[in-house]
């Protein structure tokens, strides 16, 4: 049975307020919006403000204003991860009760020196604290890690098709709550997607390698695994992903029609017709929409 038909499509855009939207994040927002609207679905916006040191004051509001300016209107209230501590704690407590997680007291230095090798996301944690007895635990606040299995986690992505990863060999036991008390992205995103009923995740390919961790967490927490679509990344002329670190320019709102047309072209929708108002561009694109299929990782270089 098709889940989408029985429960209705729920998609989302989940920016981190570390800066203003740029052409790369606009592409993600537009694609997830169009996919949701094309399927008569709901489109939610969630502010991923979990990491205060990386946040920029005013960025969350600026992102919301830009979305509205481009006609990307969301359904319901914007959800802020910084206000959802209790939900994340409840999920961690369930994993604690089932002994699927353990406290890790290792310093960054220990993690690096004892690493089992290099994984897709840096050093693979040795598992040092996985066997520690409670009596041996030092008097400091631990991080919490989840034990991962030595088996393949596979999924079919709507853009890049078949994907698989062995968490034990390529990632290692990963952190759900950091020693500084902040929640890890991997836990928060899984709890929120489930709690908000999100069944379609459309986002950039920079998160493709995080997806097996998220699927594993969904399985451990008894959540339904959503459909995933990981979009090509836009890069600058040096081949770097547009981001705050690569100095992606903020979107020039005076050029919103040209920018939207550009994004629709990147998404493979071709040349949009002349319109009186930008909102008609999104309506046109909703009718035309098809998820771009690349079959492999891909990038588009842009000068915007």
Residues that bind ligand GLU (CB under 6 A): 14-16, 48, 189, 203, 207
- Measured between its terminal Cα atoms, the distance across the chain in Å is 43
Specify the residue, 12 or 177, whose C-beta has the smaller distance to ligand GLU: 12
Shortest approach of ligand GLU to residue 266 CB, angstroms?
18
The closest of 72, 132, 83, 135 to 104, measured between CA atoms, is 132
The closest of 170, 168, 158, 268 to 202, measured between CA atoms, is 158
With CB under 5 to 8 Å by kind, the binding choice for 48 among Zn ion, ligand GLU, none is ligand GLU
Specify the residue, 169 or 241, whose C-beta has the smaller distance to ligand GLU: 241
Interface mask toward Zn ion for 21-60; x: CB under 5 A: ----------------------------------------
Shortest approach of ligand GLU to residue 281 CB, angstroms?
24
Q: Facing residues of 120 across strands?
A: none
Shortest approach of ligand GLU to residue 116 CB, angstroms?
27
Q: Does 106 bind Zn ion (CB under 5 A)?
A: yes
Backbone region of residue 40 per phi and psi (left: phi > 0; alpha: psi in -120 to 50; beta: other values)? left
| Mode of pairing for the β-strands spanning 118-119 and 122-123 | antiparallel
> Phi then psi for 282, rounded to 5 degrees?
-70, -35
Cβ(3)–Cβ(193) below 8 Å: no
| Mode of pairing for the β-strands spanning 227-231 and 200-204 | parallel
Q: Does 129 bind Zn ion (CB under 5 A)?
A: yes
The one among 104, 187, 208, 215 contacting Zn ion by CB under 5 A: 104
Specify the residue, 16 or 236, whose C-beta has the smaller distance to ligand GLU: 16
- Residue 46 CB neighbours (<10 A): 21
Specify the residue, 124 or 202, whose C-beta has the smaller distance to ligand GLU: 202
Shortest approach of Zn ion to residue 144 CB, angstroms?
10
Shortest approach of Zn ion to residue 127 CB, angstroms?
8
The closest of 1, 63, 5, 70 to 200, measured between CA atoms, is 5
With CB under 5 to 8 Å by kind, the binding choice for 275 among Zn ion, ligand GLU, none is none
Q: Does 128 bind Zn ion (CB under 5 A)?
A: yes
Q: Facing residues of 155 across strands?
A: 163
Q: What is residue 238's DSSP assignment?
A: T
Residues in the site for Zn ion, rule: CB under 5 A?
Answer: 104, 106, 128-129
């Amino acid at each position: 049975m098709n889940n989408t038909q029985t429960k209705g499509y729920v998609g989302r855009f989940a920016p981190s307020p570390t800066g203003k939207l740029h052409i790369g994040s606009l592409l993600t927002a537009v694609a997830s919006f169009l996919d949701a609207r094309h399927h008569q679905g709901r489109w939610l916006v969630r502010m991923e403000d979990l990491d205060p040191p990386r946040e920029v004051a005013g960025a969350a509001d600026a992102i919301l204003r830009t979305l509205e300016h481009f006609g990307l209107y969301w359904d319901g209230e914007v959800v802020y991860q910084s206000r959802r501590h209790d939900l994340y704690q409840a999920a961690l407590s369930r994993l604690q009760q089932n002994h699927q997680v353990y406290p890790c007291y290792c310093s960054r230095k220990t993690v690096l020196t004892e690493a089992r090798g290099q994984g897709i996301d840096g050093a693979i944690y040795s598992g040092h604290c996985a066997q520690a007895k409670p009596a041996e635990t030092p008097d400091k606040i631990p991080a919490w890690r989840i034990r991962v299995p030595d088996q393949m986690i596979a999924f079919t992505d709507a853009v890049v098709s078949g994907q698989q990863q062995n968490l034990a060999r390529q990632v290692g036991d990963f952190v759900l709550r950091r020693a500084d008390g902040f929640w890890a992205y991997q836990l928060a995103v899984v709890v929120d997607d489930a709690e908000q009923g999100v069944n379609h995740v459309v986002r950039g390919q920079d998160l493709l390698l995080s997806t097996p961790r998220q699927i594993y967490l969904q399985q451990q927490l008894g959540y339904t695994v959503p459909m995933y679509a990981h979009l090509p990344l836009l890069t600058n002329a040096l081949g770097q992903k547009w981001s705050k670190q690569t100095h992606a320019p903020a979107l020039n709102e005076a050029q919103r029609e040209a920018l939207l047309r550009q994004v629709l072209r990147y998404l493979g929708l071709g040349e949009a017709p002349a319109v009186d108002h930008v909102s008609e561009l999104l309506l046109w694109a909703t009718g035309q929409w098809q998820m771009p299929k690349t079959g492999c990782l891909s990038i588009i270089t842009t000068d915007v």
